[in-house]
A and B are shown apart, each in its own frame.
Chain A
Amino acid sequence: MSFINFKKKEVQVKIVYYGPGRGGKTTNLEYIFSNFKNRIKTELVAIKTQGDRTLFFDFLPFDIGKIKGYDVKVQLYTVPGQVKYDATRELVLRGVDGVVFVADSMEARRQQNLQSLKNLQDNLAIHKKSIFKIPLVLQYNKRDLAEQDIPLLSVETLEKSLNSKLKVPFFEASAVEGTNVVQTLKKIISMTMASVENQLT
């Protein structure tokens, strides 16, 4: 649930980038930070392991300005993708308002995508949230690898295996090149703000 301070006229929304390990969640945040740091004027907080993997989470807060007189603050989080860090993922999902699921388009990662999406559903359920109700955007990342003849899952296959029941907006993306990174973010913020507003009425 978003944090709303009526006295200060302030709204805080929490958006979590979820998905399998090495899928590009942190790269999404790094792209946003490096391309818009002059505008968002905050710092990206990242806690890495020795091998540059996300150990706890990455955190990027920024203000989007006033909406109907309320200052809206957005907090972006990533979770560690590796299976063993489930407790951390569950913790980061506490109070989540919107989720971007970053799927890895590589053919070899089909199973990891499914496992991670199921894990998201389970961890949301722990916080009494439904994957079918929470604002959710799918991002099919690493589409640029097709140029290197790396076998990728087709968008149709990804849609069928991940989005056939959810039917949420999706983007083909390349976080490393920045393709559709901003579009994904804009979509999830819009959906989350609409959801927050609905909860208030």
Chain B
Amino acid sequence: MNSQNDRTVAGEVEDRLKDLFGESVESPAIAGESDSPEEDSPIRKLKSTILSIDWEISDDLLDKLIKEIGILENTYKDDKNLLVFFQLLGSVGKYVKSTKANAHPGAIRLLNSVYNSLEIVILSEGITTAEKRKILHVQVEQFKKLKEQIALRKAEMAKKKEVIPSEIKPAIEEKEEDVVVQVEPEVITEKLPPDISRMTPQETVAYVLAEVKQLIRAEFKALREELKL
């Protein structure tokens, strides 16, 4: 490392870096990406949005996710398996939107996992309906697992609440927490039956919608009563 060889040192550094990070490695990867089937796929925007949510949980991105799911539900309205995928994504998205940074860490992972499976189902040529169902089943199971974890978390939080004397509890915080913690996890999965995977997608959708309505009604009723107190 002698100063007399300034140019040579800079040149040698350049050569070493060229060897190590030369374009020969990177270019094919970039070319491969641009040629990938999802580039022109209707789910391209969904992928970008989910990747963005992985970086940043914001209302804008989650609204975009829900909007994008709505568009895709319309595009693939005849494919019952895909509709269940979108329903899973929508439910997790709504849960994350309501809880934001307090969302269970598994929710974002599930969002990515459901999307990856959806991508396989949509982009794989020659995939059979049975294979699609198998992939979907795995995601539904993950969804159920997340529901259990959220319920457990909720129970733990409720226990902690009981320990705090009621006179000390700040009323506003309590109400906010109730809305965030109680309503949304329930919306996701609370009462999905263990044999949901055996239902047809239409039955699943109908069942979940009915459950959601019922739960929201119950929660609002409970909130109203609490507010009266």
Contact = CB atoms under 8 A, between A and B. Distances in A.
B16 A67 contact: yes
A67 B30 CA distance: 30
B33 interface: yes
Interface string A1-25: 0001000000100000000001010
Interface string B1-36: 111011011101110110111000110011001000
Contacts of B21: 32, 36, 39, 182, 185-186
Interface stretch (A92-100, A119-127, A190-198): A190-198
A150 B16 contact: no
B222 interface: no
A140 B45 CA distance: 22
Interface string A171-190: 00000111000100110011
B56 interface: yes
Interface in A131-147: 142, 144-145, 147
Contacts of B30: 178
Interface stretch (B46-54, B76-84, B134-142): B46-54
B58 interface: yes
Contacts of A50: 105
B64 interface: yes
Nearest to A67: B12
B5 A68 contact: yes
B10 A145 contact: no
Contacts of A194: 9-10, 13
B60 interface: yes
Contact of A35 (B3, B29, B52): B29
A168 interface: no
B158 to A, nearest CB: 21
Contact of A67 (B1, B29, B51): B1
A104 to B, nearest CB: 9
Contacts of A147: 48
Given A4-B1, A51-B108, A190-B13, 7 more contacts: A22-B55, A67-B1, A190-B10, A193-B13, A200-B3, A201-B2, A201-B3
20 contacts: A22-B55, A32-B21, A35-B29, A39-B21, A51-B105, A64-B16, A67-B1, A67-B16, A68-B5, A106-B56, A145-B48, A145-B52, A150-B52, A176-B51, A178-B29, A182-B21, A186-B21, A190-B14, A190-B17, A193-B10
8 closest Cβ pairs, A-B complex = A201-B3, A51-B105, A64-B16, A65-B16, A182-B21, A193-B13, A67-B12, A186-B17
